[in-house]
Structure 1
Amino acid sequence: MNEDTRFEIPKDMKAMAEASFDQARKTFEKFLTSAQATAGSLEERGATVRAGAKDISSKAIAYAEKNVQASLDYAQSLLKAKDLTEVMRLHSDYVQGQMRSLAEQASEMGQIVSKAAMEAAKPKA
């Protein structure tokens, strides 16, 4: 590859960005732990929270975790890109992957919400 067309992030900026991503991952992990604990405490309240709400909150947390992780992985991969062509390929792959993932998540969430609504509408025996 010609030195004139080489894409390179300055070392200081790269080190700072990597430290920022590491901090973002740690912050996200703390947030996720807290969100899961909150969801767990809501579920323990018994009759006020239905099983459907548990499924919905569990899925929403799992989706959030997956989406944030994908975004962090994408951002970190950009730091390692060798040239503009690789940046464009990484971006295209990320966008396509996220579109597929979001479509799957929307479909699954729709099914869970429908199931929860049907369960809630059932007459109590």
Structure 2
Amino acid sequence: MADKTAFEIPEPMRTFADKSVDQAKKAFDDFMTATVKAIDKAETSAKSLQSGTQDLNRQAIGFVEENVAATFEFAQKLVRAKTIEEFGELQKEFLAKQAEAVRGQSQNLTEMMGRVASDAATKAKG
């Protein structure tokens, strides 16, 4: 006696299910590929930004060293001043030189920050 309760899945339905699984797998594979690429770009951008930040830090430390050296040189000149007029002239010169130095240093750091940001953005875009 044949089993009349057995149910056979029709071929078109099995074909459709098979194609659906294949499409879902492909969509997932595409998603994972895009995710890996996005992570790689983010890591590249972060490395670029980190490297640029290190350069900025080194430059800023260099500026601090320059400014401290200039201040000590100024202090040595002040203690050797013989008149109040000489003292005032030394102070005036120092302030003018430091104002120019700070202007140049600020401009340099601003340009560096722009390059770092631009490089990081360019690397992020790939």
Q: Distance in 1 between matches of 2:85 and 2:48?
A: 53
Of Structure 1 and Structure 2, the greater helix share is in 2
Q: Distance in 1 between matches of 2:114 and 2:58?
A: 16
Where in structure 2 are there 5+ consecutive unaligned residues?
1-46
Q: Distance in 2 between matches of 1:101 and 1:78?
A: 20
Show the counterpart of 2:76: 76
Is contact 2:48–2:119 with CA below 8 Å preserved after alignment?
Answer: no
Deviations 1:13-63 (A, max 9, x none): xxxxxxxxxxxxxxxxxxxxxxxxxxxxxxxxxx49722112101110000
What amino acid sits opposite 1:82 in the alignment? K
Q: 1:101 to 1:91 in 2, by over 3 A?
A: same
Q: 1:114 to 1:49 in 2, by over 3 A?
A: closer
Where in structure 1 are there 5+ consecutive unaligned residues?
1-46
Matched residue count: 80
Superposed, which structure 2 residues align to 1:110-125 within 5 Å? 110-122=110-122, 123=124, 125=126
Is contact 2:49–2:120 with CA below 8 Å preserved after alignment?
Answer: no
- What is the TM-score normalised by the length of structure 2? 0.59
Show the counterpart of 1:65: 65
Show the counterpart of 1:16: none
Q: 1:48 to 1:108 in 2, by over 3 A?
A: closer
Q: 1:48 to 1:107 in 2, by over 3 A?
A: closer
Q: Distance in 2 between matches of 1:116 and 1:49?
A: 6
What amino acid sits opposite 1:110 in the alignment? T
Note the aligned Cα RMSD (angstroms). Answer: 1.9
Q: Any runs of at least 4 consecutive aligned residues in structure 1 with deviations exceeding 4 A, and if so which?
A: none
Query: How much does 1:119 deviate?
Result: 1.1
Q: Which has the higher contact order (CA 8 A, sep 6+)?
A: 2
- Provide the identity percentage: 27
